[in-house]
Structure 1
């Protein structure tokens, strides 16, 4: 049946939750493109025959195949666009380096697009904040408080906060620090957020 493979690719995306990226279905995409090529060639042959011999009985089948071509085109566009939206969301979730298991599910073109997107985002963030730059990927959801209680998991040494105060980060020490100064250290595994 026409357009079945294209619809299957769309269903495959909808089965995955929003934060997940399924493996790029290169085989399915190739099959849809081959179907589109076959439909186009059949239409070209029928259009030429209809023009040459005045066969108006071919027009309904030409229209049907043309509608199938358009539907396949819309499905492929929706499939690729939805994947790009998911990849863009992964940049905000994971940062500029994607985990290997996520990268494994991407095509070479998607990896290239991700690289260009992260460069564009980094360039934009550097242009903000009066020349100092501003990391807009942090605090996507507004924090409940500006300061948080953290515990040091490893010896890190001295850590200076914005007001000039120097804090010694020793293993198992607890501190009440500005959230935005700690988030990078939390991601690196040096600090952990203590939820009371």
Structure 2
């Protein structure tokens, strides 16, 4: 499993020449043209916040803790390992006994487990990043009601290039968590980068493809 990291993120599927070139061209075009360009329009982010109502509710109902974000959400019943929905996971083969979720917040260890689980299942096709620290919650995606109420939270962001791929990722998240497929609609998504919204306007108003 290939990952790289900096002070803020752990990256999956990096370095990735396709996305690096796509982002470079996007910045150059937006800076010059000031309009949504194909590189923006064909860019989707699936946002999994650790305190999103859907995520907290589903994990609590599955028996993975109180959902209050405390370090004891998983306790010691898992012998210091991350929980394994569906009866097992190949994640232990990558992380082994050195991975102790008790040293992380309850929400953060849930996201780490999910990120490594998806990376183990989908390999280089999984392009994503998971925060190492809580980030400012920027509520620009949909559904808006599924964003955390807190000003900061941990985030797993997964990249897609089309609506079809975006929906496949949402379904894959539900499958990894052992959730009903209907829960996919609760996972927030947005188009392009929110930093460009002051220039390009709300992404919901862009040309649809």
Report the TM-score, using the length of structure 2 for normalisation: 0.21
Which fold has the larger relative contact order, with Cα–Cα distance below 8 Å and residues 6 or more apart in sequence?
A: 2
Which is richer in helix?
A: 1
Higher alpha-carbon Rg: 1
